[in-house]
Amino acid sequence: MLTLVGVVIVVIGFVLRINPLLVVTVAGLATGIASGLGPLAVIAAFGKAFITSRYVAIVWLVLPVIGMLEHAGLRERARSLVAGLRGATTARILLAYFAIRQITAALGLTSLGGHAQMVRPLIAPMAEGAAENRYGDLPVKTRYRIRAHSAAVDNIALFFGEDIFIAIGSILLTKGFLDQNGIHVEPTQLAVWAIPTAVCALVIHCTRLVLLDRSLRAELNRKNESA
């Protein structure tokens, strides 16, 4: 049971909103000590795990390009591009991105997206711009809401698209694990059984996006009338 001390520390830390870097480090060190390692051995194990996980951070390499393009007005351009599209709404922009992201992920093209590369510089400004065109200047809370929805679309479309592609990490991991347990399955079969959930994800989230458009319309019309 002592092994779970790290989990407890993480939960408490996130609830109390202590700096997550500190929480995670303390949780890691505590877990190591609870499993019987000495203090120095725990620090070494943590250092080793941190170094072997460096690939997680490689996405930040896009920042110099994205930053330079933002400096040159990329986000402003993304907004005005949407202004030229009649009939564009926040939900329609996000629906289109959801469909493209899910289909391309299902074809194995999972890198056609991402928060640093696509959502911040292009998708979020477009989704905000579409609402601005219809309702004028947006309250800051509405802006935040649209941005959070933009990020959510990227995640959900990716998660429930990529598992249809046979050579994706999760399918290979599943196959490898079942192989080890003496059960041999074809990756294509695993991929086929991901399709029902993928369709439901599309239906559920797209319904929510349509509702988002309605709630934006109600909220912003009210604001404009009272102003």
Least distance in angstroms from the C-beta of 49 to another protein: 4
Least distance in angstroms from the C-beta of 4 to another protein: 6
> Cβ closer to another protein: 92 or 109?
109
Burial 26-52 (b: 16+ CB within 10 A, else e): bbbbbbbbeeebeeeebeebbeeeeee
SS3 label, residue 113: coil
d(C-alpha 172, C-alpha 153), whole Å: 25
How far does the chain reach from its first CA to its final CA, in angstroms?
A: 59
d(C-alpha 109, C-alpha 165), whole Å: 9
Taking residue 98's Cβ as centre, other Cβ atoms within 10 Å add up to 24
d(C-alpha 88, C-alpha 82), whole Å: 7
Least distance in angstroms from the C-beta of 69 to another protein: 6
Identify whether the C-beta of residue 157 lies closer than 8 Å to the C-beta of residue 198: no
Residue with tokens 């369709």: 199
d(C-alpha 124, C-alpha 199), whole Å: 24
> Cβ closer to another protein: 19 or 226?
19
Query: What are the phi and psi torsion angles at 83 (to 5°)?
Result: -60, -30
193: amino acid identity, one letter: W
> Cβ closer to another protein: 99 or 151?
151
> Cβ closer to another protein: 165 or 226?
165
> Cβ closer to another protein: 167 or 226?
167
> Cβ closer to another protein: 203 or 226?
203
Residue 177 DSSP symbol:
H
Least distance in angstroms from the C-beta of 153 to another protein: 9
Least distance in angstroms from the C-beta of 122 to another protein: 7
Least distance in angstroms from the C-beta of 225 to another protein: 27
